[in-house]
């Protein structure tokens, strides 16, 4: 362990209590061991879980970059999330606690009860004709049934595709079509800030044009009036009573490399791409990272406040906590409704020990002041986490001081939909520097390269790449293997291109700077400039559009767009507002631009590419850089 004087900059050292409790006390020793024999490290981790049949080979790299892990192994992630615990003391421990947005309802499920719920849902999904390998789209809010639906699909070997409940009908339709889903699981509506979000109606609109969808399974949550198509739509609470729902359901034996889920995420070009994860390696990766980084132990009350609709929710709300046997808390609502103490109330009420959230939420809550958290007893907390975007040191320190009372280390975890698991992250015993995710996880190797593919000097900015495969890595882009290769493995052959820029300091700590491609990270949500621009040009008034991200106090980055109008259309404030609404409707309210500006001309290269960096520099009053390729 480094002594205080050896590390540069502002450093927070773990307390004696943290050291005493930590599973791994000597980070360096395990990191060295894992680095020397990374497949051995992952094999040891995999051995802590149950396999129907052990793997023949830990890593098969015979067809790079299509890496395979634990080949020959037979497994099912659900067996390790649920079935395995039923044989132990965990059977009657709580797996999931849920609270409704209004705080009037609490539901809790032991591991035994989880098994009952997931089995029932699996029987119903099967009864709808879904078989191993079929895709199921899940479009829901934060209620326990979203976890049951995901686990039920995995249990029978179906592939889930969760679409965040804030996406529009158009966005949902595109994802249902692309995945060719047979079944959509949804709920009548979702409560958000005291209002109802129309989930089922959005599904109705989306599936009108999706011939692959045979059935829609609807969970009743809000109880408001919706239309049910008698041939296509089924109420879950009615299906649940049928004898077919209540029999046994064996957990399907899967190959380690069989698909578990697809999840759409934005890239720099074209439409969102479906990242594919599998049963075996993904399970091992998230099990190991959650175990070491959040040090989750029996008796912990773990709360990841993300949405199950994003990868954070997949890995670290649904699958991860169950794999380590923790008690996970799920909250239906948002942090500040009806008052900005809603989260702190939950921490106090349920004795939350680990809280994992995003910088945007922290910054949002910071604005309301310390009095709100200070009203509550937060003494149960022992670890905090952050994810989704770089955390500014000011927010880090507020989180550490006001929420963690300087007692709880902050785990700033850098990772992506594609990586499936934490990649650059501290563990609780590491000295922390606010704003840095510290170092690569055990067995992971990262580098920072210049355009020519050479490592840059410490302190210099460059492209962040991962130079060794890891078990939870995406296996491909569903239906587009070429894009998998070109997007991630072509700029620097053999190295995984993350799309982020970063620097490493003299202590070997990594500092993520942000996306280097045309992806805008709004409140930790990824949006491609191409998607936003294509939404804008789908409006009859717009001929051409360019979208850029500019710093935003709470969201981290806000979207600003520039439009060139069609001949004869006059710019106005009303049109600007209409276009913001339009983007929000076509994609999602999270994509709503902060500002729409009208231009007569967009800066372009001679080959016709929009030079977004020029627009960005202009808006920020910064030097516009090399303009030699500008059209005129
Ligand atoms: O730019 C990085 C940022 O979020 C991107 C990944 O987004 P997504 O696939 O939606 O997954 C988000 C949750 C894992 C990354 O390329 N990012 C994520 N975590 C961090 C981060 N940037 C800095 N620090 C982080 N801890």
- Give the ligand 1 atom nearest the CA of 306: 13
CA of 583 to the centre of ligand 1 (A): 23
Q: Work out the angle between the directed axes of helices 38-47 and 280-293 (0-180°, nearest 10).
A: 90
- Give the ligand 1 atom nearest the CA of 424: 26
Cβ–ligand 1 contact at 304 (below 6 Å): no
Cβ–ligand 1 contact at 500 (below 6 Å): yes
| pLDDT for 2 | 46
CA of 289 to the centre of ligand 1 (A): 16
The number of CA neighbours under 13 Å toward the Cβ of 286 is 32
Mutate to test the pocket of ligand 1, among 388, 410, 439, 511 (most ligand atoms within 8 A of CB): 388
CA of 310 to the centre of ligand 1 (A): 11
Cβ–ligand 1 contact at 389 (below 6 Å): yes
Cβ–ligand 1 contact at 412 (below 6 Å): yes
Cβ–ligand 1 contact at 415 (below 6 Å): yes
| Beta strands 233-235; 462-466: pairing state | unpaired
Cα separation of 75 and 283, whole Å?
10
Cβ–ligand 1 contact at 157 (below 6 Å): no
Minimum CA distance residue for ligand 1 atom 25: 414
Token duo for residue 541: 């008034």
Cβ–ligand 1 contact at 272 (below 6 Å): no
Cβ–ligand 1 contact at 499 (below 6 Å): yes
Cβ–ligand 1 contact at 265 (below 6 Å): yes
- Give the ligand 1 atom nearest the CA of 512: 23
Minimum CA distance residue for ligand 1 atom 6: 416
Cα separation of 290 and 422, whole Å?
8
Q: How many residues does the chain have?
A: 632
Cβ–ligand 1 contact at 421 (below 6 Å): no
| pLDDT for 171 | 94
- Give the ligand 1 atom nearest the CA of 412: 26
Sorted by sequence, the CB contacts under 8 Å of residue 371 that are 6+ apart come out as none
CA of 387 to the centre of ligand 1 (A): 6
Query: Please, are residues 161 and 175 in contact by the beta-carbon 8 Å criterion?
Result: yes
Mutate to test the pocket of ligand 1, among 385, 389, 464 (most ligand atoms within 8 A of CB): 389
Count of other CB atoms within 10 angstroms of residue 83 = 18
Minimum CA distance residue for ligand 1 atom 21: 389
| pLDDT for 1 | 47
Cβ–ligand 1 contact at 315 (below 6 Å): no
The H or E element that residue 146 is part of is helix 144-156
Count of other CB atoms within 10 angstroms of residue 612 = 19
pLDDT in tens, 543-564: 999 999 999 999 999 999 999 9
Cα separation of 340 and 363, whole Å?
12
Cα separation of 348 and 379, whole Å?
8
DSSP string, 243-270: GGGGS--PPPPEETTSEEEEEEE--SSS
| pLDDT for 632 | 62
| Beta strands 496-504; 462-466: pairing state | antiparallel
- What parts of the chain have a pLDDT lower than 70? 1-5, 632
| pLDDT for 323 | 97
Cβ–ligand 1 contact at 273 (below 6 Å): no
- Indicate the average pLDDT of the chain: 95
CA of 555 to the centre of ligand 1 (A): 13
| pLDDT for 209 | 87
DSSP string, 546-608: EEEEEEETTTEEEEEEEEEEPTTPPP-HHHHHHHHHHHHHHT-GGG--SEEEE-S---BBTTS
Minimum CA distance residue for ligand 1 atom 18: 388
CA of 141 to the centre of ligand 1 (A): 22
Cβ–ligand 1 contact at 413 (below 6 Å): yes
SS3 for 330-397 is: EECCCCCCCCCCHHHHHHHHHCCCEEEECHHHHHHHHCCCCHHHHCCCCCCCCEEEECCCCCCHHHHH
Cβ–ligand 1 contact at 512 (below 6 Å): yes
């Amino acid at each position: 362990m480094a002594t205080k004087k050896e590390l540069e900059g502002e450093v927070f050292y773990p307390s004696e209590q943290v050291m005493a409790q930590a599973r791994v006390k000597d980070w360096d020793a395990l990191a060295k061991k894992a680095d020397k024999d990374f497949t051995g490290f992952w094999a040891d981790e995999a051995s802590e879980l149950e396999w129907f049949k052990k793997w023949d080979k830990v890593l098969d790299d015979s067809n790079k970059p299509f890496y395979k892990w634990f080949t020959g192994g037979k497994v099912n992630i659900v067996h390790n999330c649920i079935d395995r615990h039923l044989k132990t003391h965990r059977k009657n421990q709580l797996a999931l606690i849920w609270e409704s947005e209004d705080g009037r309802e609490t539901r809790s499920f032991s591991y035994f009860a989880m098994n009952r719920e997931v089995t029932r849902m699996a029987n119903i999904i099967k009864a709808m004709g879904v078989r191993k390998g079929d895709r199921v789209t899940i479009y829901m809010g934060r209620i326990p049934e979203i976890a049951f639906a995901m686990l039920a699909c995995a249990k029978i070997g179906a592939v889930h595709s969760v679409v965040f409940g804030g996406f529009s009908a158009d966005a949902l339709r595109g994802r249902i079509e692309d995945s060719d889903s047979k079944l959509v699981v949804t709920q009548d509506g979702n409560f958000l800030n005291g209002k109802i979000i129309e989930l089922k109606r959005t599904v109705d609109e989306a599936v009108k044009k999706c011939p692959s969808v045979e059935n829609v399974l609807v969970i009743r949550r809000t109880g408001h009036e919706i239309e049910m198509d008698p041939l296509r739509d089924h109420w879950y609470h009615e299906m649940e009573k049928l004898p077919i729902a209540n029999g046994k359901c064996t957990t399907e034996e899967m190959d380690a490399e069989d698909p578990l889920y697809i999840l759409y995420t934005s890239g720099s070009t074209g439409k969102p791409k479906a990242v594919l994860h599998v049963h075996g390696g993904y399970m091992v990766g998230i099990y190991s990272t959650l175990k070491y980084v959040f040090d989750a132990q029996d008796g912990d009350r773990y709360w990841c406040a993300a949405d199950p609709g994003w990868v954070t929710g997949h890995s670290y709300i649904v699958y991860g906590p169950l794999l380590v046997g923790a008690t996970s808390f799920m909250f239906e609502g948002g942090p500040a409704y009806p008052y900005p103490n809603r989260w702190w109330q939950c921490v106090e009420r349920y004795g939350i020990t680990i809280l994992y959230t995003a910088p945007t939420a922290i910054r949002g809550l910071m604005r309301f002041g310390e009095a709100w958290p200070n009203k509550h007893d937060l003494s149960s907390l022992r670890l905090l986490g952050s994810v989704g975007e770089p955390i500014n040191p000011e927010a880090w320190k507020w989180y550490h001081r006001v929420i963690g009372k300087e007692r709880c280390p902050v785990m700033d975890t850098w990772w992506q939909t594609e990586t499936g698991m934490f990649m650059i992250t501290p563990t609780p015993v590491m000295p922390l520097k606010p704003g840095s995710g510290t170092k690569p996880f055990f067995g992971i190797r990262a580098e920072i390269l210049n355009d020519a593919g050479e490592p840059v000097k410490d302190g210099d900015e460059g492209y962040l790449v991962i130079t060794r495969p890891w078990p939870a890595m995406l296996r491909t882009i569903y239906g587009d293997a070429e894009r998998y290769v070109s997007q991630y493995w072509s700029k620097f052959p053999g190295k995984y291109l993350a799309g982020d820029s970063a620097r490493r300091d003299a202590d070997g700590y990594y500092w993520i700077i942000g996306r280097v491609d045309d992806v805008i990270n709004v409140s930790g949500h990824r949006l491609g400039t191409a998607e936003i621009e294509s939404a804008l040009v789908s409006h009859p008034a717009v001929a051409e559009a360019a979208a850029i991200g500019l710093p935003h106090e709470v969201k981290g980055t806000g979207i600003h767009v520039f439009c060139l109008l069609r001949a004869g259309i006059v710019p106005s404030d009303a049109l600007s507002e209409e276009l913001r609404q339009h983007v929000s409707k076509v994609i999602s309210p999270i994509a709503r631009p902060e500002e729409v500006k009208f231009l007569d001309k967009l800066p372009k290269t001679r080959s016709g590419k929009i030079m977004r960096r020029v627009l960005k520099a202009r808006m920020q009053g910064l030097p516009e850089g090399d303009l030699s390729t500008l059209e005129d």
